[in-house]
A and B are shown apart, each in its own frame.
Chain A
């Protein structure tokens, strides 16, 4: 089993509380779905309540614009590749605001993790 890591905090001192940094197993993913033209959500089985979901919102360019209309589709491919990654470390960083790590078609600013 491999794991995914997300962090939506830009400073070390602000990491660690609820809705900030999250590690989850790759088989906890429930699905990926559109939120609006510039955000897509990765839904994960809740860690605090297994009858609920945790929400990882990934920001991207405007999919209603002609030049970037494929961006959400490509971001979903990015996310799937990361989720299924055979990382030797045992985990893959999905995005990390502190270290400026993100998926290729993602916009880091505004991407968030929310625990339900």
Chain B
């Protein structure tokens, strides 16, 4: 019998607390394809962040003077100039709670040998990475988001294709259910997030299940469920219905909410397969 198919692309997303530096560097918590849908390839301090398929964004949790690299002058979300609090140096390196900084400096951070560890340098001259202009001195009240911005076909986003940026299509007859999972994190734009796991019959035929993890705006679980119902009963059989996709140019495609609007009605910030 015929059934609609759902197409699900990958967008890696890792949201983690800041780490106070030791000897001028701070290694963020380890992430993996299974936990974040993302495994960054080696990035040395000579590799421009514009060459990568992901971005690293810092959100200040509290006010600390003289902690942000002087290259960073504008808030990543609002575009506004960072505040100048009038301390003695009058630079915009004074961090205020809620300030959002994309770490764009070439020497801002390193990524290990596909080991899921990003190391951020602080904003002092000493140390191996992070300089006065590009570093970020974090506290544990800060938040760092590592967000995939393109499919994996860029140097910094996975050395091998493998499971990176994989795409999946499932028959909707194999959809087992949607399970909310505690998440309790906030996106860099201030949006509170929830997590929902979509369960499908496993493609390995073993009687287990594949889990697609969706990180989305808090409170959207009912709409997500209605969206799955809409796709299951859409009557489209000659192609797969895109739930989410991210292409090599960074273009995102959404099913939308229950009306299948094609917009990001669910507020998806990350989506990846955690169990196969």
List A residues at the B interface (Cβ < 8 Å): 1, 26-27, 29-34, 36-37, 40, 43-46, 50-53, 63-64, 66, 69-70, 72-73, 76-77, 79-81, 83-84, 86, 116
Q: Is B200 an interface residue (CB 8 A)?
A: yes
Are B237 and A80 neighbours in the complex by a CB distance under 8 Å? yes
Interfacial residues of chain B within 193-232, with CB under 8 A of chain A in the complex: 200-207, 210
A99 to chain B minimum Cβ distance, whole angstroms, is 23
A116 to chain B minimum Cβ distance, whole angstroms, is 8
Chain B residues, Cβ within 8 Å of A40: 167
Are A29 and B205 neighbours in the complex by a CB distance under 8 Å? no
Chain A residues, Cβ within 8 Å of B152: 64
How many residues on the B side are at the interface (Cβ–Cβ under 8 A)? 38
Q: Is B254 an interface residue (CB 8 A)?
A: no
Chain A residues, Cβ within 8 Å of B205: 30, 43-46, 50-53, 116
Separation of A5 and B51 alpha carbons in the complex (Å): 43
Separation of A29 and B5 alpha carbons in the complex (Å): 11
Q: Is B102 an interface residue (CB 8 A)?
A: no
Q: Which residue in chain A gives the minimum CB-CB distance to B154?
A: A64
Separation of A66 and B210 alpha carbons in the complex (Å): 30
Chain B residues, Cβ within 8 Å of A81: 237-239
Are B169 and A69 neighbours in the complex by a CB distance under 8 Å? no
Q: Is B173 an interface residue (CB 8 A)?
A: yes
A80 to chain B minimum Cβ distance, whole angstroms, is 5
Are B169 and A30 neighbours in the complex by a CB distance under 8 Å? no
Are A34 and B167 neighbours in the complex by a CB distance under 8 Å? yes
- Additional pairs, 7, CB under 8 Å, beyond known A27-B3, A52-B204: A27-B173, A31-B174, A33-B169, A34-B168, A51-B205, A64-B248, A80-B237
Q: Is B151 an interface residue (CB 8 A)?
A: yes
Are B200 and A31 neighbours in the complex by a CB distance under 8 Å? yes
Separation of A76 and B3 alpha carbons in the complex (Å): 14
Are B206 and A26 neighbours in the complex by a CB distance under 8 Å? no
Are B203 and A31 neighbours in the complex by a CB distance under 8 Å? yes
Chain A residues, Cβ within 8 Å of B237: 80-81, 84
Separation of A50 and B202 alpha carbons in the complex (Å): 12
Separation of A105 and B233 alpha carbons in the complex (Å): 27
Are B170 and A31 neighbours in the complex by a CB distance under 8 Å? yes
Chain A residues, Cβ within 8 Å of B245: 73
B138-150 interface bits toward A, Cβ cutoff 8 Å, 1 = contact, 0 = none = 0000000000000
User: Can you sample 15 A-B contacts with CB below 8 Å?
Assistant: A27-B171, A27-B173, A29-B171, A30-B174, A30-B205, A31-B203, A32-B169, A34-B167, A46-B205, A53-B203, A64-B152, A64-B248, A69-B249, A72-B167, A73-B245
